[in-house]
Structure 1
């Protein structure tokens, strides 16, 4: 990337937030609770705002540095897809191809209070930069969560037993590519 760069795509934030760590903690707490309640939210919920604040600070700083290194470039900040369905009760407790032993209550919390705010944080940060646009993957991936039959995101493991830790599968990557391509064409064309 340099002074002649036209477009930059960025898809980051989940690691800064510590999403994989939250999933691990929520599985452990869900197992200890026997699948009941919101043990993860109860133990970790108060720290989410600080995590989101760190994401925002890091994102703002990253966008500034990218703009300094490539002043003519349009930055496309790619959000996260739907990972958890609106109705968390459609997920099967204990199924590692979904979310393992994360309780339904904690899945709803992770969707509402962690993942959706993460996308909002990225979108809000992007909105402070004239040279940046947000690419929304969340809305177009509704009904394709880890727990849906036509999922675009894998769960904790894929069959037979490959660790996937809630990442997009081929269909999810195709969906993301379609939206990023459209944003690129709108930017350069």
Structure 2
């Protein structure tokens, strides 16, 4: 399974969520992107280990991230405008993740009954101390307010990891790979960050994705989990 796909990718054709970037970025000549087969067709009775990185797109985290800076700017950088606008819908989003993640794990186990499934969680993105984050800095969280960053950490991102961990716990063949604790001092707003902000200087769009150091941390934890699963 590829990293960070929708949880439905295991059982349904995937509809890529790519889109044209706003000016001054050039349009992608390959857009719109055709649907691709379910990733689960790649596994079968002879599969030993499956790694899964999914949940964030099912939650709609990119949509949340696109709304929060606009609301923060409209509110003058104060308060919790994104929380005020979106908090009521978060439980339903998390419930959707739970349902689709459970279904995905079931499909994977049916297709690869002898495989160990490693459900990979998400790293720390927002620091516990949001005073580290510079308001209106596109290399961090742009115009998302400090209050909304706290909300995103405690009410969106941490519950997302708990939802994935809980789903993994429903199947004997699955286990949760925690990236959160090991990355707590490497958020978007830390000097030694493992996750980039909206932009990577000078002008590369990164939209809050892990950098090479973040991928290395994930690889180290996955390697250890794989070795444990094959003992």
Tell me if TM exceeds 0.5. yes
Match of 1:78 in 2: 120
Partner of 2:28: none
Question: What's the CA shift for 1:162?
Answer: 1.0
For residue 57 of structure 1, what is the aligned residue in structure 2? 99
- Confirm or deny that 1:159 pairs with 2:211: no
Partner of 2:17: none
Q: How many Å apart are 1:88 and its aligned residue?
A: 1.1
Say whether residues 1:33 and 2:56 are aligned partners. no
RMSD: 0.4
Q: Which has the higher helix share?
A: 1
SS in structure 2 opposite 1:11?
Answer: strand
Stretches of 4+ moved more than 3 A in 1?
A: none
CA distance in 1, matches of 2:75, 2:130: 17
Q: 2:56 aligns with which of 4, 9, 14?
A: 14
- The answer to whether structure 1 residue 125 and structure 2 residue 167 are counterparts is yes
SS at structure 1 position matched to 2:139: coil
Q: For residues 150-172 of structure 1, give each alpha carbon's deviation from its aligned partner in whole angstroms, at most 9, with x where no partner exists.
A: 00000001011111110000000
Shift of 1:11: 0.4
**Structure 1: how far apart are the matches of 2:77 and 2:66?**
14
Residue 192 of structure 2 corresponds to: 150
Q: Deviation digits for residues 78-125 of structure 1, max 9, x if unmatched?
A: 000000000112100000000000000000000000000000000000
Structure 2 residue 172 is the aligned partner of structure 1 residue 172: no
Higher relative contact order (CA 8 A, sep 6+): 1
Identify unmatched segments of 5+ residues in structure 1: none
Per the normalisation by structure 1, the TM-score is 0.99
Gaps of 5+ in 2: 1-42
Q: Deviations over 1:117-144 (max 9, x none)?
A: 0000000000000000000000000100
TM-score by length of 2: 0.81
The SS at the match of 2:207 is coil
